[in-house]
Chain A
Amino acid sequence: MAAREPSRYLARTLPRAIAPSARPQTLACRRNASDDAPARRLSNHLAELETESSLATPLPADTVKSFNPVAAAKSRRAQLPRSRYQFRPPKYDRGPLHPHQPPPPSDPSSRVFVPGPFSLPRVQQTYDAAIASDILTLCYVHNPPGFTPPPKAPRLREWDDSSPYHKNRPLRGPRGGDVLRLLRKPIKFNSIPELERITIHSYVKQAAQENSGWLHVAGMAVQAISNKRVETFKSRASVSTWSIAPGRDTVAVKAELRGEDMYHFFGKLVDVVLPRLKDWPGVKGTSGDSSGNITFGLEPEQVALFPEIEVNYDMYPPKMIPGCHITIHTSAQADKDARLLLSAMGVPFHGKIVN
């Protein structure tokens, strides 16, 4: 048995050594008669493609001069009839088996289509060109070849089985609190922290105490500074001193910004509003939810410094301009990294820095 071992191994490995690899090493040069058929001749198809972009292709000058679509439409003796069929997307999505399907959201005829983007924001360009690479350099950790990181203790601890009641118990939480923090992975080229979204939230207690005008003004102000439709929220907590009951009073507005809107808002905040704040030391160093999201608040008079509100400040009832909380959600997994990103993008921090 033992004597036959090597030969069996040999028999198993020999074909592997001799067999050609899966990828052909030489070019496939077999020709078929059907390759000469006009439909298969690739070169003809390529010749039909225009080599230049249509934006760069020159046109004859007289064609350019005589082309006037409005005049051509007006000179028609009879106007063209309206198209008999105009596509309307269905109002309700009736499921995948229904014959009338809504178009995808990216289709301009869709009911949920939102146009944009309209520009390439400056903040985004700065991030891409300078900040991202700097953060990658700053956060690099060198491990020599052959280095294996020491094994970490399990995040959820075992029970020590000192009591018979430990049997089948769920694992214990981490030391120093029950919260299981996010795993902090090393920052690599594909995980550089970046802005994900910004939430502007404004809680207006007078909307419950007095009238809904406060909420309307707050919504208009937040909409103006964010370029987004706001959502309204009812209170979940009962605050008897403000006579707010849960589920009854609509007390808050929120706008969530992503993409282009987010970068434009961040740019205005950092370059126009924050430098003009008086006696404002910066965002508190203790701010953050320990998973990479930083929150800070603006007073009503600080919100009024946004250029969109300043331009027609008279139209807002001055007492009703709301304060707001601004949460900057980053893709960082720890507050330390989020603070590094934000300070690189121009948000000042003050006080004791808590990581």
Chain B
Amino acid sequence: MATKSNGARRIVSLLRPSIVDTSVCRSCQQTLGRRQYAVATETPATETASIAKDPSASTTFPVVKPVYTINAGIALSRPPQVTRELEPFEQAYYFYQKRLNERLALPFTKYFYFKRGTPADEDWKRKILDRRTAARDIGKYNAYASDAWNDELLVDAREADPAHQVEMLVQDAEATANATSQDTSKKEEIPRPFPRVTEADKKGDEKSLDRLLPRTLYLLVQAKGGYWTLPNAPVEAGESLRLAAERTLAQSAGVNMNTWMVGYHPVGHNVLEFKRPAIDQAAGTELRGEKTFFLKARIMAGQADLSVNTLGLKDFKWLSKEEIAKYVHPGYYHDIKNMLADR
């Protein structure tokens, strides 16, 4: 019974545009056939063409199996060092929530934080007159006054800007330190946070690790041919992928880096097909192309140094994801983009 119904199935499959792919099981082929994708029928044609091309190459050399060079690549990254910039909408939203909280929360319990008659208490009284609220980063706004309805920022107001809020906090701390210190001769200076834009950003120094602090940076190297890639080198016999990646890193960017390899598994791969298969005379093999498997690593300290590299690399850069797209081949970027961090 089974064979006979198989016969019927075969008749049905003849009626519909067929996909002859032996690697797909019969039930899946039925499902695929029902979908009527035009692209699905193209695969057998290209396959037969490649089979037809092969014998001409293999007649001159007794090559049995076309092979690929296996490369170990390394995606060495510096994680973000500072928080990201907030979007204008996020700034407005957080500021709105802060003033809303001011209206809904119980008033500040002053007596718990300031003892009466102390210099800190005097300083507090002076400030609250000026600021109208206990919060130091929401501007002049009293949620309990008759004009509490006026809680929206006007155009070009800077109160919602995080940089401005930090400045206000620091100024407040400075004022407290100056008002409460015994020594009135010298003014107290409270250090500001370092700027988010560094010297390297201003100079456009793409070799510095101090650039683009809120972003993840990746090490990109320029190979002999002048094209940019992530560092990679062929895996040697008897070597694991991770060992090969560590060796690649040492050979390409030197040992003057404190790095941490994340795990033993590759996070992405890229296949490079040669236009014409390269023939390795000694081994008697035919090389179709290269397959590169990328392992992930983090840099903790140090800097890349190409003066000792044995891979013939010419230059290196620390780039973010979007910048990498400008330097590498589009096909290469397509393969690696999903393993690069968005931020």
Contact at A55–B92, with CB atoms within 8 Å?
yes
| B window 86-116: CB within 8 A of A | 86, 88-90, 92, 94, 97-98, 100-101, 104-105, 112-113, 115
**Stretch with Cβ within 8 A of B (4 or more), from A87-95, A125-133, A149-157:** A125-133
Most buried by B among A108, A137, A140: A137
Chain A residues with CB below 8 A from B97, complex form? 115-118
Contact at B341–A137, with CB atoms within 8 Å?
no
Chain A residues with CB below 8 A from B35, complex form? 21
Complexed CA–CA distance, A2 and B4 (Å): 9
Complexed CA–CA distance, A318 and B216 (Å): 45
Contact at A129–B112, with CB atoms within 8 Å?
no
Chain B residues with CB below 8 A from A183, complex form? none
Contact at A130–B5, with CB atoms within 8 Å?
no
Chain B residues with CB below 8 A from A129, complex form? 79-80, 216, 341, 343
| B window 49-103: CB within 8 A of A | 79-80, 83-84, 86, 88-90, 92, 94, 97-98, 100-101
Taking the complex as formed, is A279 at the interface, i.e. its CB lies under 8 A from any CB of chain B?
A: no
Known contacts A69-B150, A115-B97; decide if A5 and B4 are in contact (CB<8 Å): yes
Chain B residues with CB below 8 A from A7, complex form? 8
Known contacts A69-B150, A115-B100; decide if A130 and B11 are in contact (CB<8 Å): no
Known contacts A55-B89, A125-B80; decide if A315 and B9 are in contact (CB<8 Å): no
A113-144 vs B, Cβ < 8 Å mask (1 yes, 0 no): 10111111010011011100110011010100
Chain A residues with CB below 8 A from B154, complex form? 64, 67
Complexed CA–CA distance, A56 and B105 (Å): 32
Residues of A within 8 Å of B, CB-based: how many? 47
Known contacts A21-B35, A115-B101, A117-B97; decide if A10 and B1 are in contact (CB<8 Å): no
Residues of B within 8 Å of A, CB-based: how many? 48
Chain A residues with CB below 8 A from B100, complex form? 108, 115
Interface of A is mostly: helix
Complexed CA–CA distance, A122 and B265 (Å): 29
Contact at B90–A120, with CB atoms within 8 Å?
yes
Q: Which residue of B is nearest A121, CB measured? A: B83
Contact at B12–A10, with CB atoms within 8 Å?
yes
Contact at B104–A312, with CB atoms within 8 Å?
no
Contacting residue for B98 out of A73, A118, A126, CB 8 A: A118
Contact at A137–B296, with CB atoms within 8 Å?
yes
Known contacts A55-B92, A142-B265; decide if A10 and B8 are in contact (CB<8 Å): yes
Chain A residues with CB below 8 A from B5, complex form? 5-6, 9
Contact at B16–A17, with CB atoms within 8 Å?
yes
Contacting residue for A125 out of B12, B84, B113, B156, CB 8 A: B84
Taking the complex as formed, is A59 at the interface, i.e. its CB lies under 8 A from any CB of chain B?
A: yes
Complexed CA–CA distance, A128 and B88 (Å): 21
Contacting residue for B12 out of A14, A73, A128, CB 8 A: A14
Q: Which residue of B is nearest A59, CB measured? A: B155
Contact at B15–A9, with CB atoms within 8 Å?
no
Known contacts A13-B8, A118-B94, A140-B263; decide if A21 and B36 are in contact (CB<8 Å): yes
Chain B residues with CB below 8 A from A133, complex form? 341
| B window 122-161: CB within 8 A of A | 147, 150, 152, 154-156
Contacting residue for B80 out of A14, A55, A113, A130, CB 8 A: A130
Chain A residues with CB below 8 A from B263, complex form? 137-138, 140
Chain B residues with CB below 8 A from A84, complex form? none
Taking the complex as formed, is B302 at the interface, i.e. its CB lies under 8 A from any CB of chain A?
A: no
A1-35 vs B, Cβ < 8 Å mask (1 yes, 0 no): 01001110110011011100100010000000000
Contacting residue for A137 out of B1, B36, B89, B267, CB 8 A: B267
Contacting residue for A70 out of B9, B104, B147, CB 8 A: B147
Complexed CA–CA distance, A17 and B32 (Å): 11
Taking the complex as formed, is A314 at the interface, i.e. its CB lies under 8 A from any CB of chain B?
A: yes
Q: Which residue of A is nearest B100, CB measured? A: A115
Shortest CB distance A34–B (Å): 32
Shortest CB distance B62–A (Å): 31
Chain A residues with CB below 8 A from B84, complex form? 120, 125
Contact at B34–A16, with CB atoms within 8 Å?
yes
Complexed CA–CA distance, A282 and B113 (Å): 32
Chain B residues with CB below 8 A from A142, complex form? 265
Chain A residues with CB below 8 A from B88, complex form? 53, 55-56
Q: Which residue of A is nearest B216, CB measured? A: A129
Contacting residue for B8 out of A6, A21, A53, A312, CB 8 A: A6
Known contacts A55-B88, A120-B83; decide if A137 and B4 are in contact (CB<8 Å): no
Complexed CA–CA distance, A128 and B84 (Å): 12
Complexed CA–CA distance, A25 and B4 (Å): 33
Taking the complex as formed, is B7 at the interface, i.e. its CB lies under 8 A from any CB of chain A?
A: yes
Complexed CA–CA distance, A16 and B34 (Å): 8
Complexed CA–CA distance, A6 and B267 (Å): 50
Shortest CB distance A6–B (Å): 4
Contacting residue for B115 out of A64, A108, A137, A314, CB 8 A: A314
Given contacts A10-B12, A16-B34, A118-B98, 6 further A-B contacts (CB under 8 A): A21-B34, A108-B104, A116-B97, A125-B83, A140-B265, A315-B113
3 closest cross-chain pairs (CB), A and B: A115-B101, A130-B79, A6-B8
Q: Provide 16 A-B residue pairs closer than 8 Å at the C-beta atoms, listed in order of the A residue.
A: A2-B4, A10-B11, A10-B12, A13-B9, A13-B12, A17-B12, A56-B88, A64-B154, A116-B101, A117-B94, A119-B94, A122-B83, A129-B79, A129-B216, A134-B298, A137-B265
